[in-house]
Amino acid sequence: MNTKINDKISWVGYVDWNVRDFHGYQTEHGATYNAYLIQDEKTVLVDTVKSHFASELIKNISELTPLDKVDYVICNHAEIDHSSSLPIIMQKLPNAVLVCNASCKKALSAYYDTSEWKWKIVENGEMLKIGEKTLHFIFTPMVHWPESMFTYVPEDKLLFSMDAFGQHLASSERFDDELQLNDILREAKTYYANIVMPYGNQVLKTLTAAANLEINTICTSHGVIWRKNLPAILNAYKRWASGEIEPKVLILYDSMWESTSRLAKAVYAGVLEIPGISAQLLHVRRTSLTEIATAAMDCGCCAVGSATLNTLQMPMISAAMTYLQGLRPPIKHTFAFGSYGWGKGAVEEISTWFEKVKWTPIQDPVKCIFRPDADSLEKCREAGRILAQKALEMTKN
Ligand code: FEO
């Protein structure tokens, strides 16, 4: 595995082939926790790994330098996947000073016993000379946490970007030009949808700040290092952060005895009558929340349907809605549908949720008792056509 980024910077992180659940995010292709070692007049470790993999990080560092030679450990982000090995690392690197911002120190001190650590607290824009190279700290609040920051090395035009531009993707390759670009961008999109989506405005501010920097290499904290396809990932982030939508309609549903399923398929058929618009028909018990979020990320129109179960909507509809409520996809137009037997409830719950998340219904909901009749199916088909027209208009704007 090529871990050399240039003559003075090496990757020393960990490839986690086996992780499949990253706080609920289904990481079907594993993950990496990237850490980097800079060997200049000063020796600097940039970021660390999950606590389980601390010994691997220590092994990787010690293959390059004696542990007592490490002068600084930079913590760009306090989230546990990057910081939970710090208590071990700070013990194993006896001369290291932890470099972070004040907000990061507060978070780390809440999580860990930091009483023995030596600190250097940096301000936004501060520079730290480490020999030939300089470390330039740029705060990027809410990308992904309040304390998040980038570390930029102007001499190498290299950005340590923390979570930004990352992907949950385990591979033996470390660089974007060693894998298929489409595979990397697909994982970057899934990552953006499930981790970064609520912070689009902050991402745009970060991209504006990054536009003033000359960047040849982006060393992310997850996945591959970008050194060839930077325009592809930077343009994708611009589109995603701006809430740019694709010409499509998303249909989310759950069904007990196929009645709501038939309504969902009628909406789907209506969408496909409109040229240029595609549809995603997702049964929420057969689709992970991770995939649902990714489908919603670039979508302006979404129909939601559920059978009524004990006067309520089906439980996985609630889960999908709760997840999307937090992630705030750019959906504007919507439509509720569902079925019931003797007690209504599901469609009413869905409609209440639409009010909460400010999705505007295109028409009254369609509710059928036991089995959809021809009229209910046609109303759903018509709703599909209307949603598709709305999606077309939104895409043109
Ligand atoms: Fe990879 Fe926000 O942590």
Collect all residues with Cβ–Cβ distance below 8 Å to 258 and sequence separation of at least 6. none
pLDDT reading at 211 higher than 90: no
β-pair type (31-33, 14-16): antiparallel
How far is 19 from 14, CA to CA, in rounded Å?
Answer: 12
Active site residue 191: yes
With a 6 Å cutoff on the Cβ, whether 50 touches ligand 1 is no
Give the residue ranges of DSSP H helices in the chain: 54-62, 80-83, 86-92, 102-111, 181-191, 200-211, 230-241, 259-272, 289-296, 315-327, 346-357, 374-396
**Mean pLDDT score across all residues of the chain:** 96
130 torsion bin: left (phi>0), alpha (psi -120 to 50), beta (else): alpha
What is the secondary structure of 359-378 as a DSSP string? PEESS--EEEESS--HHHHH
Better-scored residue on pLDDT, 2 or 382 = 382
pTM of the predicted protein model: 0.95
Active site residue 77: yes
Distance from residue 81's CA to the centre of ligand 1 (Å): 6
β-pair type (25-26, 21-22): antiparallel
Q: Which amino acid is at 233?
A: I
Q: Which of 16, 222, 237, 298 is catalytic?
A: 222
Distance from residue 170's CA to the centre of ligand 1 (Å): 16
With a 6 Å cutoff on the Cβ, whether 79 touches ligand 1 is yes
pLDDT at 372: 97
Active site residue 79: yes
Asked if 372 and 351 count as a contact pair (C-beta separation under 8 A), the reply is: no
Asked if 47 and 74 count as a contact pair (C-beta separation under 8 A), the reply is: yes
pLDDT reading at 235 higher than 90: yes
